[in-house]
Amino acid sequence: MRRWILCLTLVACKGGDDDTPSTDSAPSTDSDPPAAFSCAKPLFPADAPWNQPIAEAPLDAESVTLLDALERRGGFGNGRVQMDLSIEVSCDPGDAPMLEFTPTEDFYTPDCDLAPVPVPEDAHLEGEDGLACTGDGDCHLIVLHQPTATLYEQWRANIVDGVYEGGCLAIWDMSETPPETLRGEHCTSADAAGLPIAPLLFDADEVAAGEINHAIRFILPNDRLRNRTYVRPATHATGAASAGDDGIPYGLRLRLRADYPLESLPSDGARVVAKALQTYGMILADGGTIALTAQSDRLTTAKWDDWFTGTRDLEDLAVADFEVVEAGERIAWTGDCVRE
């Protein structure tokens, strides 16, 4: 993988910043203490861009052009909307050890953060049975640290026999709405677009509750993506994206058309996801093949088998069933990260 696919996600639950201790349960004489941060989604405050509903947002002037070009290039990866239900996310109540890591060649300065990472006992890397990165996958480590409401995300983590090496680490303060440029203009994160990963993953507990109240992470093959270009809320693009001016820029937000017949979908879970695509849309976050990304059900109460017949329950959704939400300025990625 390349610089822009970095994905270590350690997520925190509601609370203060990294230096804020756990709050006492006793009432304050001045005001009530903040509620303990829950690892349940949605993550980040309600006014974070990915938590904003866009059902009534205007269409982008290039909506038809971009979607026609996407269709000509083959549409979604493998020609269909498929779901990846495997991204691992752990929630640390505060008892996990904070481990230091040795940066690998997949760690980039100044984009990435060099700091200790909480690693819970139940943590797994994406695509692995534990914390050893044994293959050539992304090996994302994603942890929500409850006491400090901090999200840790790392790409290509690898912990073997107590030796911890890792690629780009992105640390996010989830107690506050991030600035427009997130961690910094032209800066990557654990994802190509510079976005956090965890807030865009839907999970089985959300689907079981009947509502997903945030945008969903989606990816496309590089030959569908506009070269070195992004739009808000993204802060980063890549040279590997090879499409021209009618390609999809990183950060672009698509929504499912309001008139799409949800009742035609084959499962309750598919209908919940499709409704979220109408209300919150999906944001282009990375390059790859499987369109929609969800959290593994290994640590959730609800299980995917109870809500989907399979990972292709949304394959009837066509490019023509979507619209492009107004995206604003197209920003040329320079490769020169300027941290916030």
Identify the pLDDT of residue 249. 99
29: in domain: no
26: in domain: no
Q: Are 106 and 170 in contact (CB under 8 A)?
A: no
From the list 20, 15, 48, 62, the residue with the least C-alpha distance to 198 is 48
Identify the pLDDT of residue 21. 31
263: in domain: yes
28: in domain: no
Structural domain harbouring 189:
3-21+36-339
Identify the pLDDT of residue 35. 56
Identify the pLDDT of residue 273. 99
178: in domain: yes
215: in domain: yes
CA distances from 105 to 112, 163, 167, 315 (A): 12, 16, 7, 37
320: in domain: yes
Identify the pLDDT of residue 34. 47
Q: What is the mean pLDDT of the chain?
A: 92
Residues with Cβ within 8 Å of residue 51, at least 6 apart in sequence: 42, 44, 45, 199, 213, 214, 215, 280
Q: Are 155 and 5 in contact (CB under 8 A)?
A: yes
Model's pTM, two decimal places?
Answer: 0.89
In the predicted model, residues of the chain with pLDDT beneath 70 are: 1-35
Range list of H helices, the chain: 63-72, 204-209, 268-279
Instruction: State the total domains in the chain.
Output: 1
Per residue in 9-34, pLDDT (tens digit) is: 333 333 333 333 333 333 333 444 34
Identify the pLDDT of residue 19. 35
Residues with Cβ within 8 Å of residue 34, at least 6 apart in sequence: 14, 15, 16, 23
Q: Are 154 and 7 in contact (CB under 8 A)?
A: yes
Question: Which 3 state secondary structure label does DSSP give 169?
Answer: strand
30: in domain: no
Per residue in 116-158, pLDDT (tens digit) is: 999 999 999 999 999 999 988 899 999 999 999 999 999 999 9
